[in-house]
Each structure stands twice: as structure tokens, then as C-alpha cells.
Structure 1
């Protein structure tokens, strides 16, 4: 390869997979990109989760699996690398009113590739398969990238928009 020549871009072939301890190191690498705190929407991470220790990570995996009846968690993975996460909260999930039916997050180094829109489209199909006729998707006020992603999947701003100054709310009909 010569100086100034661009490397060929490998066509992404992402997958949506159920969370797995097999990818602990890859998940921790992605988590590290976000920095400290709980802000990777789509992973079901709580402030009380200790994902740094092997036992804590395993306990988190067990908790996510135990929520299968009310939430479908998926990791966006390509080539063994965790690129993001997406969660489909079923109607019975207690977090729907606050966080919506679907939450997603893409690690900073994997953004601007269309991964969020791709994953959201697949989760909308899962929601339809569950018998849902519309889903609520919420993003932080000012998060233009997430808003555009939601709108790309036919998201329409909720009317009236709830008086929550920290979130934009969108409905997507299935």
C-alpha cells in the first residue's frame, strides 16, 4: 500500500446475537469506549451491575437472561467485536413508560456506519412478531444522530411530546 492510498473498506456483516459471556473481553472493550457510568442504552446495564469482575459479569448475563419474558436484548457484533447493543422492551416491561420499547447504543468508534438503523429495523421486525402494532422509541434531547436514526425507520414525534425535558419521544407503527 502506498502513502496516501486508502485501505479498502471491508463490507460489514454485523449480526444481532443474544448477550454472551463468550464475548466478555470484546464487550468490556466497547464499554471502555463509552467511559465510566451507565449510558450504553440497549445493554440493560444498571448502576448496580459489576461488569468488571468475572463473577459480576456472569451475574449480569444471568439477570439479562431472566428478563427474556419482558425484554429482548441483542448485541450488535461483527468479527468478534461488540459494536453496540439494542433492547426491545415488551409491553410488560416496567421501563417502557420512561425509556420506550426500544433503546440502542453504538460504541463511539463504530458510529456513522448505519449500524443503529440496521439494528433498529431488525428489532422492529421482532416487535411485530411479538404482536406489537407500534413501538415507542426515546432518545436524549439534542441527540440528533439517534433522532435521525429513529426517523429513518418512520419514527414520528409523539404528540403531545411528554413534558420530559431530557427526552425526545417517537412512535413507530409496525
Structure 2
């Protein structure tokens, strides 16, 4: 059974294996990795994991039997990036796709969205990414629109997160 775990240095080698599976330049939403992050060395990885814990974004890794299968993040706030990328972003490593893990993770991350004060969350995917669209719909996402942007067309979905936490 998979788990959603906070990023940890304990899973460094498992995370690196998942990261390498995507290959160079591939998109891994949900990990919070930027081009400036140096994750290959133990010290760089530890620095990155520490920075993730201090971020306003909630990051979780999908882990099963010691393998990192993907990542998911909840972002709150009115930032342009959130409006563009959505409040929930996820990625599943290629070898773990097709098992329903992303839909499972989306439904399991919604309590974090509530704790961040969200009663609903925006999820965005490229219009042609039908696998992500089906994932979001399976998790309860309702299509708002297909919006044409400078980066291509995107599907914008909303999913109910429930009543925000008050404490």
C-alpha cells in the first residue's frame, strides 16, 4: 500500500532513482525541484529537503516498499505561478503509471489543502495530456475551462477540498 510521506533524506537513493527514470529535462511536478537545486550529493540533497520543509508549499512523496513512485504538492496563495500551474501538482514516475496512484494521491492530499485554508483546489494540465485529465476527473475534479496561454492550451479543473481548517 502506498504512503504519502514528507520529503526526507532517508529516501535519497530511492528519490534519485525515480528522478533518473524521468530523464534529463523531464517534468516532475510535485517534487519542488528547480534547475538551481543540486540534489546529487548527500549535502545538496539534504539542503534541498530542508528548503522544501520551510517552503509555503506542502510536498509529499508517494512511497511504496521503499520506492519513491512520485510526488504531489499543494500550493496556496495568489501568486502568478499558482494561477498558472494550479494549487495541486503531481507527477508519477513512468514505471508506476497506470495504477491510479495519482488519483489516490490527489484525494489524500486534500486535507493539506484544507489546512492551508482552501475549500477547493485548482488543478491544471496541458490540454493534450489526457492521462492527467482522466486522473483529475477520477479524483473528483470538475473542468472549468480549456484556456489558451502563451505556453499552449491548458485544462483547468476545480476539486472540492471541504471546509478549511480553522485551527
Q: Same fold (TM over 0.5)?
A: yes
* Cα distance change, pair 92–17 in 1 and its aligned pair in 2 (3 A): farther
Q: Does 1:121 align with 2:107?
A: yes
Corresponding residue SS for 1:44:
coil
Q: Does 1:37 align with 2:25?
A: yes
Name the residue aligned to 2:154: 167
Give the C-alpha shift of residue 92 in structure 1: 5.6
Question: Normalized against structure 2, the TM-score is what?
Answer: 0.88
Preserved contact between residue 136 and residue 169 of structure 1 (Cα < 8 Å) = yes
Give the C-alpha shift of residue 173 in structure 1: 2.5
Question: Aligned runs of 1:11-160 on 2, under 5 Å?
Answer: 13-37=1-25, 39-67=27-55, 70-91=56-77, 95-159=81-145
Deviating runs (4+, > 4 A) in structure 1?
none
Name the residue aligned to 1:6: none
Preserved contact between residue 77 and residue 83 of structure 1 (Cα < 8 Å) = yes
Q: How many residues align?
A: 159
Q: Equivalents in 2 of 1:60, 1:37: separation in Å?
A: 18
Deviates more, 1:148-157 or 1:99-108: 148-157
Larger Rg: 1
Give the C-alpha shift of residue 65 in structure 1: 1.1
- 5+ residue gaps, structure 2, are 162-167
- 5+ residue gaps, structure 1, are 1-12
What value does the CA root-mean-square deviation take over the aligned residues? 1.6
Q: Equivalents in 1 of 2:94, 2:154: separation in Å?
A: 20
Give the C-alpha shift of residue 123 in structure 1: 0.9
Q: Equivalents in 2 of 1:141, 1:84: separation in Å?
A: 21
Give the C-alpha shift of residue 64 in structure 1: 0.4
Name the structure with the higher strand share. Answer: 2
Preserved contact between residue 147 and residue 153 of structure 2 (Cα < 8 Å) = no
